[in-house]
Amino acid sequence: MSAKRVERTALNGHQKMFKFHAVRKTVQNLKVIENRQLNDDHHLLQLEVPDPLETINPGQFANLLVDHSPGVFLRRPFSICSVDYSKNTISVLIKKIGEGTRALAQTPVNSYINGMFPLGNSFTIPSEPEKILLVGGGSGVASLMNLAQELGRNLNDVSILTGARSSADLVELEHFSQYGTVYTTTEDGTQGKKGYVTDHPILRDQLSQFKRIYSCGPEPMMRAVSAKAKSQSVFCEVSLENTMACGFGVCLCCVTETIEGHKCVCTDGPVFNINQLKWQI
Amino acid sequence: MRLHGRASIQHKSIKMADLSTTIHKLELKNPVLTASGTFGYGLEYDDFLDVSLLGGIVVKGTTIHPRQGNAYPRMAETASGMLNSVGLQNRGARYFATDIYPKLTKYNTNVLVNVSGSTIEEYIACAEIINELDHIGGIELNISCPNVKEGGMSFGTSCVSVENVVSAVRKVYHKTMIVKLTPNVTDIGELARAAEYSGANSLSLINTLLGMAINAQTRKPVLATITGGLSGPAIKPIALRMVWEVSKAVKVPLVGMGGIMNATDAIEFFLAGASAIQVGTANYIDPTITLKIIDGIDSYLNYHKFNKLSDIIGCLQL
């Protein structure tokens, strides 16, 4: 976090003392200034924020309201995949899964989406540059995008391994290549190594060279990555996904099992150290 | 829905109507409370609004012993609503008293605690601890939680068990006691009378309706507990009907809730006989909705030339 941004946070903040994570949550109408379709399933929306942006940490998310879609009642959570402080915008990667995500993905440019953000905790950033591996699967790369940017800016030696079903499903590789070396796997072998990310040599054989691993993607993938990290005693954080009613820690619907009991993915997470989770790995 | 920033009540040129209302010994500056389990301890909303502007808050269901709550998934979105099966996850009454309560004394409004238990002894023990907290003006006795295996709703579905638990807590709790009723019964009027007879100062209704969601693709229930409590606008017609029925059955003031999403919904509950209302699920979608509802109630009273809220309570035109 730059000194300039720390200062801005303090100036914009209300009477509270801010810690690194504790930026005030806001609800604002965000203007869609770009809606880029990446492939059949994914759209990248750049959203202009009316109020000056306070610091958004890698791993945090926004809970977006789905207007004009009568079958959708609750907000939908999305990782904030990039932040442009000069343009005062945030970006979200939307994968069309159901009615809500389809409606959001089709939001035209210049219209508005109501967003609640920044929500959740964030990835732990090393204080000194380190050798780091990011492992993303499918649309899980969204939460790693802002992280790669932050780590790259802090001169970490970053490698990014992303996997998907097919080459068309691999998104935002150019973004990641700005901040580190990109490795890919596809299940059908259309790009990179054929198979799952866990079949890639960098995870299979060369893991011990890394100080940290950060991962986000389908849970079976994160469990497999976590098992490898644990076997080599490498620091590992994962970003979990869950259905949420509120997104700010009041409904207690999005819990996950941890060594300290049920914890909310929305406020205690979405980022958890694998040692906190009760995964049998 | 359009909303922005940290909300406050709009200042209007017209004089505000008198929105105050009374629930037994509780003086409410306006009739808008928050429903237990949807507003945390209020603190979670400090970023979004000034909690002291509300008529009051009812904090998360509290039990004498800490509870981990149910397994997950705990939530299913449904048509115009949602199912939950949280199961009263909380850290227990003693933790509440020592670690949370001191943070709530900053609020210049009524703070109530929703009290629950698996046995009558647990209800009593929990109420005794809450009774000692000066800033807590009352309790909402939860005999209607559909998501716990023992206690909860089972206390609220027969007149005998309602009388047993309400009269037992009445002996140890000396401030305002609101009893929260379940809609999962055949005749809510007789249960309301049983609660009133046993010492309830007010009744709040309705808690969630027992429901179920199934994933056709996996052929499995969506919730880990199979069934859960339905909330949201889907249940409002049932809630209105029950408030109306109970208003005819008892004399104590009623706190109405169930799917209130805006001021018009709230007005409907006042007309049906509620002296105050609670906003629940709507807080998840718009954390500032309670202030908009207060503002909207005022606009309604002004528009229809009523000077005070009490002019419309129970005034359904038949």
Amino acid making up residue B215: N
Chain B interface, mutation test: which of A17, A262, A264, A277, most B Cβ atoms within 10 Å?
Answer: A262
Backbone angles phi, psi at B9, to 5 degrees: -75, 135
Which pLDDT score, from 0 to 100, does residue B15 have?
66
Instruction: Give the Cα separation of A138 and A165 in Å (integer).
Output: 8
Residue B10 domain flag: no
In angstroms, how far apart are the furthest CA atoms of chain B? 58
Q: What is the mean pLDDT of chain B?
A: 94
pLDDT in tens, A191-236: 999 999 999 999 988 899 999 999 999 999 999 999 999 999 999 9
Chain A interface, mutation test: which of B34, B285, B289, most A Cβ atoms within 10 Å?
Answer: B285
Which pLDDT score, from 0 to 100, does residue A6 have?
37
Judged against a pLDDT cut of 90, whether residue A9 lies above it is answered with no
Stretch among A134-138, A172-176, B199-203 having the lowest mean pLDDT:
A172-176
Which pLDDT score, from 0 to 100, does residue A21 have?
46
Count residue pairs from A and B with Cβ separation < 8 A: 101
Judged against a pLDDT cut of 90, whether residue A174 lies above it is answered with no
Q: How many domains does chain B have?
A: 1
Q: Under an 8 A CB cutoff, do A116 and B38 touch?
A: no
Q: Under an 8 A CB cutoff, do B89 and A252 touch?
A: yes
Which pLDDT score, from 0 to 100, does residue B10 have?
61
Residue B182 domain flag: yes
B258 touches chain A (CB under 8 A): no
Instruction: Give the Cα separation of B292 and B298 in Å (integer).
Output: 10
Which pLDDT score, from 0 to 100, does residue A17 have?
32
Q: Under an 8 A CB cutoff, do B40 and A250 touch?
A: yes
Which pLDDT score, from 0 to 100, does residue B4 have?
52
Residue B16 domain flag: no
Structure tokens at A45: 């929306």
Residue B318 domain flag: no
Stretch among A117-126, A148-157, B46-55, B120-129 having the lowest mean pLDDT:
A148-157
pLDDT in tens, A17-42: 333 446 799 999 999 999 999 999 99
Mean per-residue pLDDT for B234-241?
Answer: 98
Which pLDDT score, from 0 to 100, does residue A147 have?
95
Judged against a pLDDT cut of 60, whether residue A10 lies above it is answered with no
Angle at CA of residue B156, ends B152 and B160, nearest 5°:
125
**What domains, with CATH codes, occur in chain A?**
3-119 (2.40.30.10), 131-239 (3.40.50.80)
Which pLDDT score, from 0 to 100, does residue A265 have?
97
pLDDT in tens, B15-43: 689 999 999 999 999 999 999 999 999 99
Which pLDDT score, from 0 to 100, does residue B13 have?
53
Non-local CB neighbours of A114 within 8 Å, separated by 6+ positions: A27, A28, A29, A30, A64, A65, A67, B1, B2, B3
Determine the residue of chain A that is closest to B6 in CA distance: A26
Q: Under an 8 A CB cutoff, do A73 and B86 touch?
A: no
Q: Under an 8 A CB cutoff, do B1 and A114 touch?
A: yes
pLDDT band at B71 (very low <50, low <70, confident <90, very high): very high
Which pLDDT score, from 0 to 100, does residue B144 have?
85
Residue B300 domain flag: yes
Which long-range contacts link A232-238 to residues 24+ away (Cβ below 8 Å)?
A232/A207, A232/A208, A234/A207, A234/A208, A234/A210, A235/A211, A235/A273, A236/A212, A236/A273, A236/A274, A237/A123, A237/A124, A237/A212, A237/A213, A237/A271, A237/A272, A237/A273, A237/A274, A238/A214, A238/A271, A238/A272, A238/A274, A238/A277
ipTM of the complex: 0.92
Stretch among A11-25, A84-98, A237-251, B79-93 having the lowest mean pLDDT:
A11-25
Pick the residue with more confidence: A21 or B197?
Answer: B197
pLDDT band at A98 (very low <50, low <70, confident <90, very high): very high
pLDDT in tens, B85-103: 999 999 999 999 999 999 9
B284 touches chain A (CB under 8 A): yes
Determine the residue of chain A that is closest to B283 in CA distance: A246
Query: From the list A71, A74, A253, which residue is nearest B285 (CB)?
Result: A74
What share of chain A has pLDDT > 90, as a percent?
83
Which pLDDT score, from 0 to 100, does residue B148 have?
74
Mean per-residue pLDDT for A244-269?
Answer: 96
Q: Under an 8 A CB cutoff, do B232 and A75 touch?
A: no
What range does the domain containing B246 cover? 21-70+86-210+231-311
Amino acid making up residue B109: T
β-partners of residue B169 are none
Residues of B in contact with A71 (CB under 8 A): 79
Residues of B in contact with A24 (CB under 8 A): 47
Residue B13 domain flag: no
Mean per-residue pLDDT for A251-273?
Answer: 96
Residues of A in contact with B284 (CB under 8 A): 74-75, 245-247, 250-251
**Secondary structure tally for chain B: helices H, strands E:** 10, 16
Q: Under an 8 A CB cutoff, do A252 and B72 touch?
A: no
pLDDT band at B145 (very low <50, low <70, confident <90, very high): confident
Which pLDDT score, from 0 to 100, does residue B237 have?
98
Chain A interface, mutation test: which of B43, B77, B86, most A Cβ atoms within 10 Å?
Answer: B77
**Using alpha carbons only, how large is chain A's radius of gyration in Å?**
18
Judged against a pLDDT cut of 90, whether residue B131 lies above it is answered with yes
Domain of residue B277, CATH code: 3.20.20.70
Stretch among A118-127, A252-261, B2-11 having the lowest mean pLDDT:
B2-11
pLDDT band at A68 (very low <50, low <70, confident <90, very high): confident
Chain B closest-CA separation from residue A152 CA (Å): 32
Which pLDDT score, from 0 to 100, does residue B76 have?
97
Residue B305 domain flag: yes
Q: What is the mean pLDDT of chain A?
A: 90
Instruction: Give the Cα separation of B136 and A133 in Å (integer).
Output: 51
Q: Which of B126, B145, B159, B315 is catalytic?
A: B145
pLDDT band at B248 (very low <50, low <70, confident <90, very high): very high
Chain B closest-CA separation from residue A236 CA (Å): 24
Pick the residue with more confidence: B217 or A71?
Answer: B217
Judged against a pLDDT cut of 70, whether residue B127 lies above it is answered with yes
Which of A95, A61, A31, A66 has its CA nearest to residue A248? A61
Residue B76 domain flag: no
Chain A residues whose C-beta is within 8 A of a chain B C-beta are 14, 24-29, 50-51, 65, 67, 71-75, 112, 114, 116, 242-256, 261-262
